[in-house]
Amino acid sequence: MLQLTERVSAAPSDGVLRLPFDTRQKSRFRAALDDGTEVGVFLERGLILRDGDCLRAEGGRIVRVEAADESVSTVHCTDATLLARVSYHLGNRHVPLQIGHGFARYRHDHVLDDMVRGLGVEPLAEQAPFEPEAGAYGGGHGHGHHHDHHH
């Protein structure tokens, strides 16, 4: 079994480890690469693997992590105020939430879908990668976010 023990900067990889978000939050687990190679992941506690992260095996092999498709609901909305309201109400329920340009995504849940409909938006139930926000105190790194802070 290939042992992956270190997250490294983006590098050419020779394997893909496709994982759902729940698994990417764990520091120790077994899985299989897309080619069927069994791996054991042994990382520092508290690390969340993000889509595009690379892991190095003890022998130097590099494996790229990809977010697996999972059952989610996606809200597409061109009205920024309405999308903010939807995001606020989902966040108020402590729901892990992925926010992107013109959309919000959460794990599929028919009760939450009904709430979103009540706010005036139709959620789309689909299979898609889920990459929720780390939260205000989550640390780590977020892909696709710009941090141009002007104080």
Q: Which residues pair with 31 in a beta bridge?
A: 39
Of all residues in the chain, what percent carry a pLDDT higher than 90? Answer: 81
Q: What pLDDT was estimated at residue 102?
A: 96
Can you spell out the DSSP letters for 30-78?
EEE-TTS-EEEEE--TT----TT-EEEETTS-EEEEEEPEEEEEEEE-S
Question: The CATH number of 69-129 is which of 3.40.50.1220, 3.30.70.790, 3.20.20.70, 3.50.50.60?
Answer: 3.30.70.790
* Spatial separation of the C-alpha atoms in residues 111 and 129, rounded to whole Å: 21
Q: Where are the domains of the chain?
A: 2-67, 69-129
Question: The CATH number of 2-67 is which of 2.60.260.20, 1.10.10.10, 2.40.30.10, 3.40.50.360?
Answer: 2.60.260.20
pLDDT at 135 over 60: yes
Q: What pLDDT was estimated at residue 11?
A: 80
* Spatial separation of the C-alpha atoms in residues 74 and 70, rounded to whole Å: 12
Alpha helices in 71-147 (DSSP H): 80-91, 110-118
Helical packing angle, 110-118 and 80-91, nearest 10°: 140
Q: What pLDDT was estimated at residue 21?
A: 96
Model confidence, pTM: 0.81
What is the arithmetic mean of pLDDT over 5-30?
Answer: 93
Q: Is the dihedral of CA 84, 90, 94, 100 positive or negative?
A: negative
What is the arithmetic mean of pLDDT over 139-145?
Answer: 43
Q: What is the pLDDT of residues 59-118, one digit of tens each?
A: 899 999 999 999 999 999 999 999 999 999 999 999 999 999 999 999 999 999 999 999
